[in-house]
Copies of this chain bind each other. A is one copy, B any other.
Amino acid sequence: MHIGEVATRTELSLRSLRHWEEVGVIRASGRTEGGFRVYTEDDVEKILVIRRMKPLGFSLEEMGAVMRDLELLADPDASATYDGARERLAGVLTDARERRAALERQLAMADEFISLLSAQ
């Protein structure tokens, strides 16, 4: 499928999808003769993984590294780098849990603001 459909399905802007490709987070797995990006269902799945990771505040570079490690684990002929990937992902998971706690604190602060504003 083309980039417009991906944007609609993932609720991301065309610019974000292109920017993510520019900085190496995810790319369309193909191109048409005319240069149009062509995405597969698998590409969309990967984009949705990034989208879920985004609220945790990781940088695009960090998310790109995670995607590469996830692809390594999914790849049947990965060998030496395999263990490194597993370790790095374990670290990311720990980090993600801390960030999740921070996000929850932010939600609590937002609630404080809302009740403060409700009281005029």
A104 proximal to B (CB < 8 A): yes
How many copies of this chain sit in the oligomeric assembly? 2
Could you tell me how many residues of chain A have their Cβ less than 8 Å away from some Cβ of chain B?
30
Is the C-beta of A12 less than 8 angstroms from some C-beta in chain B?
no
Closest to A97 in B: B114
**A13 at the binding interface (Cβ < 8 Å):** no
Q: How far is the CA of A110 from the CA of B52 in the complex (A)?
A: 5
Asked if B89 and A114 make an inter-chain contact with CB atoms under 8 angstroms apart, the answer reads no
A residues 5-63 near B (Cβ < 8 Å) are: 49, 51-56
The residue on B at minimum CB distance from A118 is: B93
User: Assuming the A-B contacts A89-B117, A118-B93, are A55 and B100 also in contact, with contact meaning beta carbons closer than 8 angstroms in the complex?
Assistant: no
- The answer, among B93, B99, B106, B110, for a CB contact under 8 Å with A117, is B93
Residue of B nearest to A111 (CB): B100
Other A-B pairs beyond A52-B110, A96-B114, A103-B110, 7, CB < 8 Å: A52-B112, A54-B109, A55-B106, A55-B110, A96-B117, A99-B110, A100-B110
Counting from the closest, the 5 A-B pairs by CB-CB distance are A55-B106, A52-B113, A52-B109, A55-B110, A53-B113
